[in-house]
Structure 1
Amino acid sequence: MSLPTVLEKLQIKSEKYFLIQGMPSSIEKPFSKLNYAKNVTPLLRARKIDFALIFAVNVRQLAQIVDEVVPALHENGKFWVAYPKSTSKIYCDLSRDYNWELLTGLGFEQVSQVELDSVWAAIHFSRNGAWEGDLEYTIEEASSAQA
């Protein structure tokens, strides 16, 4: 029995509109056969994103990306946040133990976590129905929450 691929770990199935933002070149290979946007575009915003994987190394960067991505995400879209693992040599203020208030404050809850490679891990978030469409959690609040 073979190990699951990155795409299998991320539960990619029949999604049509993909966004993979901030992906480092070291992890591009598993995604080479996917047709995906690297940024939220007006067309993607209108069609709604079915699958989003965003890479972030700090809360401030995550807040800026979330501000763009969440309004464009389909109600039932898959939403993953990738961050450097604590064993990587990349300085990061995100981890699986971070309280993720930035996303839980928007009505998301953690569903699962996977390892993408030796450097990156990702957490799958799902809407729990509480989100009303306003991004009330600002970048400043995100930065102060980490302090």
Structure 2
Amino acid sequence: MSDKPLTDRLQLKPGRSIILLNEPNEYRSLLEPLPEGSKILTTENKADIVQVFVDSFTALKMQLPQAFTMLNPNGILWVTYPKLTSKMRSDVNRDSIFEYGLSLSWQGVSMISVNEVWSALRMKPK
């Protein structure tokens, strides 16, 4: 895992906003301290970054289209899923997210390790 702060890996720069969808308990503490002027917004808003957490393919199909609607133009979308090495049972992985994203005209462009349990795939429109 990278020594860089999680906010750097997520590209949460000063002044940028982020929406967290379905984040696990205590996840927000991993983002502290937030860069100056950055905010965590509620789902009624649009943000520069949307990070959606999915633990199943069903959750991916339900939450990914919702995440698109919350993203500012040219925003950054992170789909965060359990690592294969984590103790979480899941039927979703990098490849299934990539393939499903392609079916919605989005493609995976990079990956990060969030922590010992979660990885994240950054997606962009094709």
**TM-score, scaled to structure 2:** 0.83
Listed as ranges, the gaps of 5+ residues in structure 1 are: 129-147
State the Cα distance separating 1:4 from its structure 2 match: 0.6
Q: Does 1:18 align with 2:12?
A: no
Runs (4 or more) in structure 1 with deviation over 6 Å come to none
Q: Does 1:31 align with 2:35?
A: no
State the Cα distance separating 1:26 from its structure 2 match: 4.6
CA contact (8 A) 2:60 2:97 kept: no
Amino acid of the structure 2 residue aligned with 1:76:
N
* Aligned Cα root-mean-square deviation (Å): 2.0
Partner of 2:47: 49
Match runs of 1:37-76 below 5 Å: 37-38=41-42, 40-41=43-44, 44=45, 48-76=46-74
SS of residue in 1 equivalent to 2:77: strand
SS of residue in 2 equivalent to 1:30: helix
SS of residue in 2 equivalent to 1:13: coil
Partner of 1:90: 88
Count of paired positions: 121
Larger Rg: 1
Structure number with higher strand proportion = 2
SS of residue in 1 equivalent to 2:94: coil
Partner of 2:113: 115
Structure 1 residues 96 and 15: CA distance shift in structure 2, 3 A: farther
Question: Percent same amino acid at aligned positions?
Answer: 26
CA distance in 2, matches of 1:56, 1:92: 9
State the Cα distance separating 1:12 from its structure 2 match: 1.5
CA contact (8 A) 1:51 1:78 kept: yes
Of 114-123 and 9-18, more deviation after overlay is shown by: 9-18
